[in-house]
Copies of this chain bind each other. A is one copy, B any other.
Amino acid sequence: MTRVTALAGGVGAARMLSGLAAVVGQQAITAVVNTGDDTVFHGLYVSPDLDTVTYTLAGASNPGTGWGLAGETWSVMEALAAFEEVAGRSLTWFRLGDRDLATHLYRTGRLAEGIPLSQVTAEIAKRFGVAARLLPMSDNRVETRVVVEEDRHWTGDGPGRGWGPRLGEEPGRRGPGGPTREVGFQEYFVRMQHSVAVREVHFVGAPTARPAPGVLAALAEADAVVICPSNPVLSIGPLLALPQIASAVKARRPSVVAVSPIIAGKALKGPADRLLLELGHEPSALGVAKMWAPYAGTIIVDNADAGLAGQIEALGLRCIVTPSVMSGPAEAAKLAEAVLGAGAS
């Protein structure tokens, strides 16, 4: 049996994991999942990436969104919206479906009993019939914080692509930077719909967080380690911000295969391309390859980026060019085969 350990974020990772499961079976897979996005909403501990991976591998996720549960109902959110007038603000910008809420109630109750997140995650996976091993990156709290510039807006994806001047600033000139505000990941990602400029990203707690039980062994013992096509900064970044995880991945470099989430300079979904640009990386498969070069022996890029293969290989990574858009289960399985072929060789 080929044992696969994957570093995973949310939707992109969940699709990659489904593809891998189609090839080697869920039992062969360990996913180490980002918990930097975890947030407490209304007292409930929510783990968005763990839930997306769990629901997807259970075949229970909403096919329209990739996250949340299929056939969800929204009674609680509707009733909560009735409090917004007295609250004077939105209470429902992070949508929690009725059945999804049960997961959060269960997780929160168990955590309050002192059960570590890794054990609760295993229980939730079991309840959903997921045979893959799902591990939070850590049982310690690591919190992704984003420093945003709220008054700077994206000018579009044309030749002048980038963040425009701040309000009141002369076009074409960029001042020393406007007022910034540090927010939690979900506030940036969901509430602001990632349409503000990002100055910095922090992973609070990461330097001292310990990998969850089983994470280091799963990285050490896997036949192949996969860096899923998740946002390199926001989804994989938190995992590698744990020094022990970073070292363990580097130690397996020849067997580590990364899949670029950037295709032809764009993220399929989400703000990865913009974020790379803002934080000083190149928003391209080459830029991703530069980020992963210390960790991965191989990177898989889409056919659209075939022209970058030479530059990527010059970095010391093997570059495999193959269709990488997972538009359905067949495409995901096909990509998984390429990943596993690269990891095994």
Report A's interface with B, CB cutoff 8 A: 40-45, 73, 75-80, 82-83, 85-87, 91, 98-99, 101-103, 105-106, 108-112, 123-124, 126-127
Contacts and interface: CB of A to CB of B under 8 A. Distances in A.
A44 B127 CA distance: 22
Contacts of A87: 106, 110, 123
A79 B76 CA distance: 13
Nearest to A112: B43
Contacts of A111: 43
B79 A99 contact: yes
Nearest to A99: B79
Contact of A42 (B91, B98, B99, B109): B109
A106 B42 contact: yes
B73 A105 contact: no
Given A75-B99, A76-B98, A127 B42 contact: no
B123 A105 contact: no
A71 to B, nearest CB: 11
12 contacts: A41-B105, A42-B108, A42-B112, A43-B111, A75-B75, A75-B99, A76-B99, A79-B101, A79-B103, A87-B110, A87-B123, A91-B105
